[in-house]
A and B are shown apart, each in its own frame.
Chain A
């Protein structure tokens, strides 16, 4: 029988913790040789993404359709654990993808819907027309994206949705200062 593999991590033990320096298996892929002239991996990846971008509009269509289906499911049966997950994930995916797909204005309305669902302690108290308004806004902004006034239209819609959502969330979370701080807090994620 082969002897067990020796643990190559260097471990230093201190009072209440260990500092472990694992074997760096990725060292072999770091090179000091400069990139050849004209070689830019980021530019190459951006070019590959640009080539893929012809599909983005149809991808966005299918994401909006998925959101609409989730909304219809809630309209039919009300909020359940499954329908809540479905609409949240659909909105969350749109929020994350819209800018990359070339529709950044859509992300803000989707984000407002995510906040509404995530920060409402009892989702059955969410007025269904507020859910409808969010879904309709997401679809409308995407559908009318080529209009010359699309930016103003999206800004007006999302500003109003966000204001109504914030008012609702403040009311629903009164007495929960930690959640209120989270609702009001800015993002700290690095760009």
Chain B
């Protein structure tokens, strides 16, 4: 099992529902996190993101002013803020295919459907910390590589141009740490 030192991570939780924020804070403190900041809508979330420079953003989708999807798009602007590569975990009650694809295409790192469990949240956090994906920048997309793995059975057109080198095999960080340790 990968061991994450939660006490060295800074979280930002953005949700308009106070009950949900309290629950998430409780879970994160339970994992061992000490620094958990909160915001209650997308605009306050963006301000808190700039102010606190969190390592991991956990955001709801449906929120007033601007929603979690719009917030993600604002964060994923190269050069517009201090960390466009920040890990973003989206929590939502929306789990239809169209919604999941929209979140992915906005640059969300991980997606967690409600109801939330301690195990589900923990797994998403471990994944963004221990298995970071490279970022892809195209004319229409900037965010984590949407190809989580190489499918050897894929048949169809290669949509990325530039040759074989654009398929990058990522060694999980945990493996790298272990091999160096």
Contacts and interface: CB of A to CB of B under 8 A. Distances in A.
A97 B174 contact: no
Contacts, number: 187
A167 interface: no
Interface in A76-125: 85, 88-89, 92-93, 95-101, 104, 107, 111, 114
Interface string B11-29: 0000011011011001111
Chain B interface, >50% SS class: mixed
A24 B144 CA distance: 13
B114 A29 contact: no
B127 to A, nearest CB: 11
B109 to A, nearest CB: 11
A64 to B, nearest CB: 12
B111 interface: yes
Contact of A45 (B30, B160, B161): B30
A16 B118 contact: no
Interface stretch (A33-41, A132-140, A141-149, A155-163): A33-41
Interface stretch (A46-54, A67-75, A169-177): A46-54
B31 interface: yes
Interface in A1-42: 9, 12, 14-22, 24-35, 41-42
B83 to A, nearest CB: 8
B20 A93 contact: yes
Contacts of A15: 160-163, 166
A191 interface: yes
B137 A32 contact: no
A35 B6 CA distance: 13
A187 interface: yes
B117 to A, nearest CB: 8
B98 A32 contact: no
Nearest to B119: A42
Given A15-B162, A41-B30, A49-B118, A20 B135 contact: yes
Interface of A: 9, 12, 14-22, 24-35, 41-42, 44-49, 52, 59, 62-63, 85, 88-89, 92-93, 95-101, 104, 107, 111, 114, 182, 185, 187-191
18 contacts: A14-B165, A17-B160, A19-B135, A19-B145, A27-B177, A44-B30, A45-B26, A45-B27, A45-B121, A47-B30, A48-B30, A52-B23, A89-B16, A182-B96, A187-B113, A188-B95, A188-B100, A189-B111
3 nearest CB pairs, A to B: A14-B162, A45-B30, A15-B161
